Amino acid sequence: MSDDSTPNHGRVIGVDLGDTRVGIALSNPDRTLASPIEVLKRTGNLHRDIAKIVDEWEATAVVVGLPLSLDGSVGPAAKKALAEVERMGATIQVPIETYDERLTTVTAERMMTDAGLDSRGQRKVVDKIAAAILLQAWLDRQAHIHHQHD
């Protein structure tokens, strides 16, 4: 889902919503590179915590992973994420987009296994790595779209 109100400059926050933990990633101001920054515990203050990160980094947009079904349809997990994004909009004062996050966690786990991290080490960072993979995919897609229009 793309939103024409999203500015095409400035930092972007990537969010990987999990049931227990939420991964956060951040782009550079030029929007070419996504980096994992932290994992938040899911609390009643989650949206406020994300809003603080947006303010702290002066982000101009937020991209939230949308867990579509493997066939690309909107299943129960995606419906839950879309409802949460809707609620986030009341607290977060920048445009919020969703982006297909199918397989980002699997990709993150594979990368960490290849890097030699054990499962306990992975559990601490997988969410923010998944957020960075999601955000990097979104950044690459935006660059491709803007390149086509130039």
Give the chain's domains with CATH numbers: 12-144 (3.30.420.140)
DSSP state letter for 125: H
Question: What's residue 2's pLDDT?
Answer: 42
**Computed from CA positions of residues 19, 6, 104, 24, in that sequence, does the dihedral angle turn out positive or negative?**
negative
Alpha-carbon distance of 12 to 31, in angstroms, equals 7
Question: What's residue 7's pLDDT?
Answer: 64
Q: Each residue's pLDDT tens digit in the chain (150 positions)?
A: 444 556 678 999 999 999 899 999 999 999 999 999 999 999 889 999 999 999 999 999 999 999 998 888 999 999 999 999 999 999 999 999 999 987 677 777 888 888 888 878 777 888 899 999 999 999 999 887 766 655
Name which of 2, 46, 54, 47 is nearest 25 in CA terms: 54
